Amino acid sequence: MNSFHRDQLTELRRLGVTDEQLVELRRILPLCRAEALAPLTSMTDVRDELTQLRKVMDAALTTLKRWESARVQTPALAEARARVLEASFDLAEKGTATGDAADAVHFAMIVAEQAAARLPKMQRRPEASAGPILRIHEALVRGWGRTYYTVRRGDDAPGDAGGAIPPFPHVPSSGATSPFRKIVGICFDAALGTRDNDPERAIKAFMRWRAGAKRSQGRQVP
């Protein structure tokens, strides 16, 4: 279940999958299998973990506020507060923090609250997960690059294939006749050891994630 049988290889090649892409796809089959067969997690357990995170952040924020408002500054408290401020400003200058520890902790609390608020009542079904689709897409992109490009002096240059480089043919699509959907279906069959797995819902989940990631500033999406 970590490779393709003869009929699957024939169909993949008919769909334009190159040898280099096949190598990459074989590598990610075990990961796709692990993700698809992962047991569903109780949303109650997830909410409990997020609640615990919020409690920890709340305790940290309470401590920082106590330091700020303490009427009597013991030597230890004053030294601790000074070192937190020094570290905060140092990280702010490096662009890795806001410059205020209390603000950072408060933001972490909000993140935990929002994550808990967005939890569904039930875990998503494995076939609707975008994770395996992302792995398959990235494998196809990497393999296509290995087929038609080599790295020379740090620059991308046409590889051994020579001539004009054809456009990438495996554009993500959930359409019934889409080569991408057929490739994903074959990968699912190979990874799970079953037949006729329909990846439509998973591909749609991936495409929604991909569209959102492209809209997010600074995200690099293949």
Give pLDDT tens digits for 179-196: 999 999 999 999 888 776
**pLDDT given at position 153:** 37
Q: Strand, coil or helix: what is 152? A: strand
**Higher-confidence position of 81 and 143:** 143
55-107 confidence digits (pLDDT tens): 888 888 888 888 777 776 788 888 887 887 787 777 766 665 556 777 778 78
| 0.75 exceeded by pTM | no
Range of the domain at 178: 6-40+125-215
Does residue 218 have a pLDDT over 70?
Answer: no
**pLDDT given at position 20:** 93
CB-side exposure of 33: number of CA atoms within 13 Å?
A: 16
Contact 147, 21 (CB under 8 A): yes
DSSP-assigned letter for residue 158: E
With respect to residue 95, please indicate whether it lies within any of the assigned structural domains: yes
Q: Sign of torsion, CA 9 11 16 17?
A: negative
**Higher-confidence position of 40 and 105:** 105
Mean pLDDT over residues 209-216, rounded?
74
**pLDDT given at position 120:** 65
Verify that 28 and 95 share a domain, yes or no: no
Ranges 35-49, 127-141, 205-219: which has the least confidence: 205-219
d(CA 67, CA 100): 13
**Higher-confidence position of 16 and 50:** 16
Does residue 145 have a pLDDT over 60?
Answer: yes
**pLDDT given at position 67:** 79
Verify that 12 and 57 share a domain, yes or no: no
Number of domains in the chain: 2
Verify that 89 and 185 share a domain, yes or no: no
Verify that 137 and 111 share a domain, yes or no: no
Of 192, 199, 208, nearest to 36 by C-alpha is: 192
Q: Which residues have C-beta within 8 Å of that of residue 104, sequence separation ≥ 6?
A: 88, 97, 98
Verify that 157 and 206 share a domain, yes or no: yes
d(CA 197, CA 188): 6
